[in-house]
Every structure is written in structure tokens, then in C-alpha cells.
């Protein structure tokens, strides 16, 4: 079936048909690496990682690019504060990005370009724009001339006059129009700079994404994504620059995720409701955060709180218990032919996969996809037990892991126990055989206080971590 995606450009769900059949080229705006990334940054990283996975699951060859902005005012400021170089700041937080991203189950992109590595490519794009008559230089700064680009505002559905009314013009800027923006910024004392046809300077903020997208994916790409706040001005400017440079459409589908609020308020440092993923990782397994993010639709605004994470943690627990039950059943399963009824069960379980795919095809409705997994889990729990044949258990397990794998949840393996605890469990089993319930319960309570929960099942004792 054909997938539908909501395209910000047309404000409609559209059938997704890539430019080259079977191949998808996607670019997602990445972090400015001056700090640990926060829970709001995490949302697009997770969502578009899942989009990428799902497109691959559907059989597309996906090329995915996500940039690191490693030259920018915030990085320069940070470097000055800490008395280290801009590169050291960027290197550190790129490394930290990968740590947190891995915890969240986010795969690395095919390319993670850094601005400082592509300066000459960026300069070339700026030159092209200037050669095409869409940019002008004023004393070492190069600005994009928005009045020359007739379609300016097509993504955010604004026109120049309206924008002008709300615009703020900084003193000392030499722009011809308030909405013009810098492609190249003249060096200021003490700032990192590179040689260019306009003298020493550094790229403006928006140009890097245009240059990187073109370099790794070509002049027209399939999907460009990011947070809703990037629609204007960042993505609007990217479109203007790129199309002014190439004369070709820049991206065919624009996808934007909704914001995360804290108690219905925007997260900001001044309100003191700012959470980095690193902070959260100290209290929760980050897989909980991943499940939380995909439990609602990516375009809806969502609230974030500890209570919501606690609730999600319990949901995830249910999924893990189901997985581990299947593994446990598999260990001692009987080899025998399936009955007609059991064969019919396979069909029933497959209906959940259909629902899953239908949901994902509908503009990445992960909330519905997750509910399909819960439906599958319920059917598995109700119908598969210690009497089920091995082939059926394996089938259920594989199906479950296939769907969970697309979302990259329920990925962790069961850990092993240390010898001391193994011994206590054996001791308890012995006590139970002798009907020494007092001792058996005492051992169970002791283990519980050490974070090990025991369950007595028809196939013997099972354990899990609290």
C-alpha cells in the first residue's frame, strides 16, 4: 500500500511517491552542538528515525542526512565561557549527542555533516545564488534578496508585506529589506572565520542545510523534516536559497513535528522547566522516553511530565513481560504439529500486523501502531501457553518482534543473574516443595527488596527486574 504523509507545503496528506522509484532521500535538521540536547530536540530525532525505519521496512533504500551545526553564536559563547576552542565544544557535544541518541534507540544517519567540514561547498552555493542575482554583498556580509525571490513565504503561507509588519530589524544591519537574511557573515573580532570571495567570515545559519542537502542527496530531495518552529524562517529560507541556486524544487515533502510543552507551557530555561535527555536518563531508561514520544501523533503538541513517563514505564513493562513470557515458553516448548485451531490463530495474529501497517501508512500514526502491538500482545497472552507447539510460539514471537522492531521498542535482552541470587531461588524452590511457605515467602520478599521479582509459572520460576 502507498504511504500517506502530511506535507506542510500543501497542508494536506499526500501519497508518498519518491522521485526515484524505490529510493528515498531525506534530510532532517540536526542539533547545534553547544550543550546536551533536550527533550524537545529528542522528538524529531525519534520521529524521523522511525520514519526512516519504516520506509526501509517497506522496502525503500533510504539515504538519510542529519547535520551538526558546529559554528554559531551559542557555540562561540560557550567556548569563551569555558576557555576552550569552538571545535572542542562541538566535538564534546557531538559525542554526547550520540550517547543520548543511542539510548533513545536512534540510529546514526548515513551522513552527519558538520558545517566546518563543508565551508567550500557552502561558499559555492552562496556564489551561485549571487551569480543568479538573488544575493547582494554589503561590506563583507552577503544577504539573500527576498524581494527577488517571488515565491518567498510559500511554505509558511506568509507574504513579504505581512512579514515585514512583524519584523525586527537589528541596528547596524545593512539589509535592503527587513526579511533579507545573511548567507555569509563578515568576521567579528575573536570569531572563527574562513576565507571567501567576500573576505574572512562564516556561513549564515540557514545556508548549511541547503549546501549539505545538495551535496549528499542532490538538488531535489524527497523529504525534509524538522520541528514546527523551523517552518519560519529556517525552512522558508532554505527553500529560497536552494531554489535560487539551482532553479529546481528543493524538497518534495515537508514534515514538521509538534512541540513538547511542560505543563502546557513552552519549555524554556527562564521558566525553569528545561529537561535535557541526559537528566532524564538518570531517572528512566530512555526507551521509556521513546515509547512516550510515539504514543501520540507526531504533529500533535504533547505535554511532558514525570507522571506521564511513569505511566509509560508501566506500559513498556507490559510489553517486556509478554516478550519474556514467549522466550520462557520457547525454552520448554513441545515439538508437535499445529491443530487447525492453532493455524487459525496465526491468521488472527496477522490481522494486528495489517492494522499496524495501515496505521503507519497513514501519516506515521505511531499511536495507532502501538495500539496494534498491544492488541497483538493481548491475543498472544490469551492464546499461547505452555501447551502451545514450538512453531506457533516462534511465529508469535517473530511477529511481535518484527512490529516492535520497526518502532525499535522492546529491544533489550534479558540479563543474567548472579550466582548468589540463583542460589536463593533454588533454595526457595526447595522450600516450596516442602511447603515451607514462610521461608519461601521470606526469600521472595528479600529478593523483591533487591529489585528481583519472582513469578511461579507452570513451567517453573521466572524472574524479572523491578
User: Hey, which residues between 232 and 261 contact RNA (CB under 7 A)?
Assistant: 232-234, 257-261
Binding to RNA (CB under 7 A): which residues in 137-156? 156
Binding residues among 290-319 for RNA as defined by CB under 7 A: 295-297, 299-303, 307-308, 310-312, 314-315, 318
Asked if 368 and 357 touch (Cβ cutoff 8 Å), the reply is no
Under the binding rule (CB under 7 A), the answer on residue 171 touching RNA is no
CA 45 to chain centre: 3
Question: In whole angstroms, how close is the CB of 252 to RNA at the nearest point?
Answer: 20
CA dihedral 306, 307, 310, 314 (to 10 degrees): -160
* Residue 234: CB minimum distance to RNA, A: 5
| Residues in contact with RNA, shown as a per-residue x/- string from 316 to 345 under the rule CB under 7 A | --x--xx--x--------------------
Residues 74-103 that bind RNA (CB under 7 A): 74
Task: Give min distance, CB of 453 to RNA, in A.
Answer: 5
Q: Which is nearer to RNA, 132 or 295 (CB)?
A: 295
| DSSP assignment of 326-343 | HHHHHHT-B--PPPHHHH
- Among the listed residues 11, 150, 413, 433, the single contact to RNA using CB under 7 A: 11
Rounded Cα–Cα distance for residues 152 and 146 (Å): 7
Regarding 365 and contact with RNA (CB under 7 A), the answer is yes
Distance of CA 123 to the CA centre of its chain: 30
Range 425-464, binding RNA (CB under 7 A): 432, 437, 440-441, 444, 453-457
Q: Which is nearer to RNA, 21 or 166 (CB)?
A: 166
Nearest to 50 by CA among 377, 307, 293, 398: 293
Work out how close the CB of 181 gets to RNA at its nearest, in angstroms, rounded to a whole number. Answer: 7
In DSSP terms, 7 is beta-bridged to: 12
Return the residue of 9, 16, 26, 44 that touches RNA, per CB under 7 A. 44
CB 299 within 8 A of CB 260: no
| Nearest to RNA of 195, 456 (CB atom) | 456
Q: Is 368 in the site for RNA (CB under 7 A)?
A: yes
Residue 123 or 231 having the CB closest to RNA: 231
Q: Does 381 bind RNA (CB under 7 A)?
A: yes
Determine contact, residues 13/4, Cβ cutoff 8 Å: yes
Q: Which three cell numbers stand for residue 178?
A: 527587513
Among residues 270, 382, 416, 449, the one that binds RNA under rule CB under 7 A: 382
- Of 85-93, 230-238, 279-287, 410-418, the window that binds RNA (rule: CB under 7 A) is 230-238
Count residues near RNA (CB under 7 A). Answer: 80
Question: What minimum distance in Å lies between the beta carbon of 131 and RNA?
Answer: 25
DSSP code string of 1-67: ---EEEETTTTEEEE---SSTTEEEEEE---BSSS--BHHHHHHHHHHHHHHHHHHHTT-EEEEEE-
Cell numbers representing residue 403 in the block: 512490529
Tell me the closest approach of the beta carbon of residue 229 to RNA, in angstroms. Answer: 4
Q: Assess 267 for contact with RNA (CB under 7 A).
A: yes
| Alpha-carbon gap, residue 42 to 99, rounded angstroms | 13
| Separation in Å, CA 266 to CA 67, 117, 229, 410 | 25, 34, 12, 30
Amino acid at each position: 500500500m502507498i504511504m500517506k504523509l502530511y506535507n506542510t507545503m500543501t497542508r494536506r496528506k499526500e501519497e508518498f511517491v519518491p522521485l526515484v522509484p524505490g529510493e528515498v532521500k531525506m534530510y532532517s535538521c540536526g542539533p547545534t552542538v553547544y550543550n546536551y540536547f533536550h527533550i524537545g530536540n529528542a522528538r524529531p530525532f525519534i520521529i524521523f528515525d522511525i520514519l526512516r525505519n519504516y520506509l526501509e521496512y517497506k522496502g525503500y533504500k533510504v539515504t538519510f542526512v542529519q547535520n551538526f551545526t558546529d559554528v554559531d553564536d551559542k557555540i562561540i559563547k560557550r567556548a569563551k565561557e569555558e576557555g576552550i576552542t569552538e571545535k572542542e565544544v562541538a566535538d564534546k557535544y557531538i559525542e554526547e549527542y550520540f550517547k543520548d541518541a543511542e539510548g533513545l534507540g536512534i540510529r546514526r544517519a548515513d551522513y552527519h555533516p558538520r558545517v566546518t567540514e563543508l565551508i567550500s561547498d557552502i561558499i559555492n552555493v552562496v556564489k551561485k545564488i549571487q551569480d543568479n542575482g538573488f544575493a547582494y554583498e554589503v561590506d563583507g556580509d552577503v544577504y539573500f534578496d527576498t524581494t527577488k525571490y517571488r515565491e518567498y513565504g510559500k511554505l509558511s503561507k506568509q507574504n513579504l508585506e505581512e512579514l515585514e509588519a512583524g519584523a525586527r530589524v537589528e541596528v547596524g544591519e545593512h539589509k535592503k529589506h527587513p526579511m533579507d537574511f545573511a548567507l555569509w557573515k563578515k568576521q567579528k573580532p575573536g570569531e572563527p572565520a574562513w576565507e571567501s570571495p567576500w573576505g574572512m567570515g562564516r556561513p549564515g545559519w540557514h545556508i548549511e542545510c541547503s549546501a549539505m542537502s545538495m551535496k549528499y542527496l542532490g538538488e531535489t530531495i524527497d523529504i525534509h523534516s524538522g520541528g514546527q518552529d523551523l517552518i519560519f524562517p529556517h525552512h522558508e529560507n532554505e527553500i529560497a536559497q536552494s531554489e535560487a541556486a539551482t532553479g529546481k524544487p528543493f524538497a518534495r515533502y515537508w514534515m514538521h513535528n509538534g512541540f513538547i510543552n511542560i505543563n502546557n507551557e513552552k519549555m524554556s530555561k527562564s521558566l525553569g522547566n528545561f529537561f535535557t535527555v541526559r537528566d532524564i536518563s538518570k531517572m528512566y531508561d530512555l526507551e521509556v522516553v521513546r515509547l512516550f514520544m510515539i504514543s501520540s501523533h507526531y504533529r500533535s503538541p504533547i505535554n511532558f511530565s514525570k507522571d506521564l513517563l511513569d505511566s509509560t514505564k508501566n506500559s513498556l513493562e507490559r510489553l517486556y513481560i509478554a516478550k519474556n513470557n514467549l522466550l520462557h515458553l520457547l525454552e520448554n516448548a513441545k515439538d508437535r504439529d499445529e491443530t487447525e485451531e492453532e493455524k487459525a490463530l496465526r491468521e488472527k495474529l496477522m490481522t494486528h500486523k495489517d492494522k499496524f501497517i495501515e496505521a503507519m501508512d497513514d501519516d506515521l500514526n505511531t499511536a495507532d501502531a502501538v495500539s496494534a502491538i498491544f492488541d497483538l500482545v493481548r491475543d498472544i497472552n490469551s492464546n499461547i501457553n505452555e501447551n502451545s507447539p514450538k512453531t506457533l510460539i516462534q511465529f508469535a514471537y517473530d511477529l511481535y518482534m518484527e512490529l516492535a522492531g520497526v518502532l525499535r521498542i522492546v529491544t533489550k535482552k534479558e540479563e543474567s543473574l548472579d550466582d548468589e541470587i540463583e542460589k536463593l531461588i533454588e533454595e526457595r524452590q526447595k522450600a516450596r516443595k516442602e511447603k515451607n511457605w514462610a521461608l519461601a515467602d521470606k526469600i521472595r520478599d528479600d529478593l523483591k527488596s533487591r529489585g528481583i521479582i519472582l513469578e511461579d509459572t507452570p513451567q517453573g520460576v521466572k524472574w524479572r527486574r523491578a
